[in-house]
A and B are shown apart, each in its own frame.
Chain A
């Protein structure tokens, strides 16, 4: 079965080293085609279809499999991912080359291969006895690989002939390399370029648009004038960076001015970390987020960041002269004193292109197939794409990928990837929002769903192992109205010794999501549930989030309980944690709970329990604030949805009741208790949450604002900040305090998850707690699931697993969670922003609070369809240059509803 073959390899690592590696050739590797007698029994994983009839190609009407080469895979992955393309053989040689050259493409091809419906087969040709190719004398690695691919293609054709002579099964070699194609045809292998093949697919004309345009002919219509200087090769760049003539950094295009960008130089702790680039030629085809090498210009050419807002509006591509003129405007506007280090891009170290969302700007010429695409993100240049469906794509959100940026082209070339839907359509906009914030939102795959418990589900004997039966307790949950994923419930009762027993019961999600399976991996990837205005992107499948894990009333549910014994002064005497089974007696909303507490007529068990909790919460809160916890305010907006159309009809800022803070107080207490426990047990790998103290400079804006009202804000410690915020009150303007608190929120740092073994500062600034974690919302946060697992191990209710006690893996997980949380937050904000702009929305009732008396004019500016915004213009007091006169007719702004707003106080 084994044939061994050794080959020699030489590498240079300082000196010459001879490496001898074994290379086994096998005869048990299957060809992947079903019904093949020769390779019977060797099939594994997804296999090709026996009769690959579609897609019908006019070039090769016989049934066939495709065999692409490395470059086709690297550049035309968008085409290959299309559902129309199936039955593809990916050679190991190709896969290895892709792996070395582009990690993202490698990941995508692996995803495609794992998709059973695509019928992609990976053929391990390098270890197959008949397709292994040795490197010949004088042949370079690339040529060898090309030959190996051809040999494999030839083998396949002969092999398939053997199994089904009557079927005429063929393998078609797809390559974009002319020489390679010629050689293949010489050897009798049917070969086509990717373009030829895709064009021959008569049933799928839309695929042509997804072809990446790499061919040199594509630019012939161009003026041929070279606009940009050449990029230096990587080896030269590295030399230059080493010797210090070039600097390496991340390219950040400016949002306001398309002719300007900055480069953040990594690493070194130099002062001039930021380099300004100005002018098209100096930007030299770099795109936002690329890693570039820059050369500093001599000091006399340094410029200042311009204050001009410039958007690339030109439809014509040949107006380079105009561009130069604009650059000149930039320069004259510069202030002599503000000069900053200025440079130019000499080469690209790594491209960080991704598919971009945006809209098509149709070409003026009706018949033209080349159009410009305007990305939603202003930092991305416009992209030229070639499409025949321009009229169909007009006014729609589309996704486009960049293929390349030739030296003689003003814009990068790209190709169309996907059509998302109509602009302004709620679903399309949501999709854009999720894509732009990198929120995973596809429906859960079959593999993930297979790990869900079977319905109907009930608690079994086995579930009750290591679990306490608390179903007799009078537990209830308090949540916002309409909440279906209830992850916490509370109870409070008086003990015989006069003390109070308080329990926080959290949904036991980790009971259902076992470590390492597909469900767990998917939840870890999503990291958090994302709440948009009209939609919720779940972290775990709905069966868990809204049913089995949700602590609804009057059903038996599994929970993880944290139970304290407290005296009437809310001092904790004892704490214990246990897995439990509970049966919630009531699911209340904040308002209902508040009503029960307030109404003297109610005296049932639930109400007394709530009153007890409320009393303790007040003491806890008071104590927390004394310690210096901040109560900041950021008014949350809530939308009233039309129940039928799901259109938001009104917005309202959320009301805060006593019961809100009651629940919050006990959640904080549970989180802190759990944090202490898991850190005690796992000092090296507890997952905690910290909130670093902000640097003093962050507070400047707050101090300044307060000063304008003759108030003093102290910011040296959290405690003094909290105190001075309490004192900052103006008798004539009661809302001022809230405004200052909103402002203070803006000064704060981001709270982050971290692994206790990797850090030594655990302090949570905002809550004034020395240690903190997240335990109370496992349905919507993955961090809580990990904390649940840690705690379960700590109390001996569950067993550990390797990843849980690996602090590096945990640190990686934290990184992902922090990223996802940030993105989820941005997406939420963007969603709110989008909905506030819906024209039908009434904004008369909204109250605007400001520091000084002003008169503003509010309108919806939809001059740019992709960036609709609410524009406020100052009417009074009159400041020349900023304010507008009250009766300016807004002729040029398309305004569906014009409103003037006057606000005194």
Chain B
């Protein structure tokens, strides 16, 4: 049996996208009233929910407080029903710890933490359905939630994954494409300045190809930015109408 053809000769991927195209993105801000900020995002079939509390006083041990900036605390979890096979994922397993750390790194680079010394900002992200690119969806959802909370940031953080198949870089991999086992790169970008907040890849990829894959991921991240920007503007417009402004 022949395996799945990830990229056809005509340049179409398994789900009908072209190499550089994103999946359909839909997002909403302010989904929860209790939290300071919240957002929900769908990137194709990957769905994530992000909630932000803070900045507030340090909870728990006061020793964790940083004298010059705010502490960013990130927690990641995924729902038992998020994947094809139902599986309980206890809190604090390796994968979610790692993801939490990556998110923390990403947002420490974006949030103006020095404005809130000795305080704490909590970001909780949950993946409701996983279909590839969970890290990217988490970052994008968290960005919207942080914006919703009104925490000052340098810029949006927009993330996207990219892979490499048949000497072509593919943007925004779906689960099928990830499972095929090729190299996969995750990029979080500050689009205005073009600075990279996080770049992660744990497969072998030849140096010569890195540039093209990185370029594809950056372009996709910029596309994500346009979409998120539209969502934020729409949300602000709606909010201002509600306020009767």
Interface residues of A (CB under 8 A from B): 2, 4, 6, 17-26, 44-45, 92, 96, 99-100, 103, 106, 110, 113, 122, 124, 126-127, 801-802, 805
Contacts and interface: CB of A to CB of B under 8 A. Distances in A.
Contacts of B209: 802
11 contacts: A2-B17, A2-B21, A17-B84, A19-B84, A44-B10, A44-B11, A103-B2, A106-B2, A124-B8, A124-B10, A801-B208
Interface string B82-102: 001100000000000000000
B174 interface: yes
Nearest to A1: B21
Contacts of B85: 17
A20 B129 CA distance: 11
A96 B8 CA distance: 10
Contact of B2 (A19, A26, A100, A113): A100
B16 A24 contact: yes
Contacts of A24: 15-17, 24
Interface string B12-25: 10111100010110
Nearest to A45: B10
B36 interface: no
Contacts of B245: none
A22 B174 contact: yes
Given A6-B45, A113-B9, A21 B2 contact: no
B15 A23 contact: yes
B223 interface: no
Contacts of A122: 8-10
Contacts of A92: 8, 10
B57 interface: no
Contacts of B206: 801-802, 805
B138 to A, nearest CB: 19
B44 interface: yes
Closest 5 CB pairs of A and B: A802-B206, A127-B16, A24-B16, A22-B15, A4-B24
B48 to A, nearest CB: 16
B1 A100 contact: yes
B155 interface: no
Contact of A124 (B12, B23, B131): B12
B10 A26 contact: no
A26 B16 contact: yes
B180 interface: no
B86 to A, nearest CB: 10
A298 B103 CA distance: 70
Contacts of B192: none
Interface residues of B, number: 25
Contacts of A103: 2
A20 B47 CA distance: 13
B176 A21 contact: yes
Contacts of A113: 9
Interface in B65-81: none
A127 B13 CA distance: 10
Contacts of B8: 92, 122, 124
A96 B23 CA distance: 23
A17 B9 CA distance: 30
A20 B42 CA distance: 14
A20 B2 contact: no
A110 B9 contact: yes
Nearest to A99: B2
B102 to A, nearest CB: 25
B5 interface: yes
Nearest to B85: A17
B82 to A, nearest CB: 12
Contacts of A21: 14-15, 45, 174, 176
A4 to B, nearest CB: 5
Given A6-B45, A45-B10, A124-B8, A25 B208 contact: no
A20 B45 contact: yes
A96 B11 CA distance: 14
Contact of B16 (A25, A99, A100, A805): A25
Interface in B113-145: 131
Contacts of B9: 45, 110, 113, 122
Contacts of B16: 23-26, 124, 126-127
Nearest to A132: B16
B44 A22 contact: yes
A21 B12 CA distance: 15
Contacts of A4: 23-24, 44
Nearest to A98: B2
A99 B5 contact: yes
Contacts of A126: 16
A195 to B, nearest CB: 29
Contacts of A2: 17, 21, 24
A24 B44 CA distance: 10
Contacts of B14: 21
A107 to B, nearest CB: 11
A857 B1 CA distance: 56
A23 B176 CA distance: 12
A471 B10 CA distance: 50
Contacts of A17: 84-85
Contacts of A805: 206
A847 B85 CA distance: 78
A22 to B, nearest CB: 5
Interface in B24-38: 24
A26 B11 CA distance: 13
A665 B44 CA distance: 66
A240 B24 CA distance: 49
Contacts of B10: 44-45, 92, 122, 124
A96 B21 CA distance: 22
Q: Which of A99, A100, A110, A113 has the most CB of B within 10 A?
A: A99
Contacts of A6: 45
A2 B84 CA distance: 25
Contacts of A18: 84
A23 B174 CA distance: 11
Contacts of B5: 96, 99
A133 to B, nearest CB: 14
B16 to A, nearest CB: 4
A22 B23 contact: yes
A805 B209 CA distance: 14
Interface in B155-182: 174, 176
B208 A802 contact: yes
Contacts of A124: 8, 10, 12, 16
Contacts of B17: 2, 24
Contacts of B11: 44
Contacts of B45: 6, 20-22
Contacts of A96: 5
B12 A127 contact: yes
A238 to B, nearest CB: 14
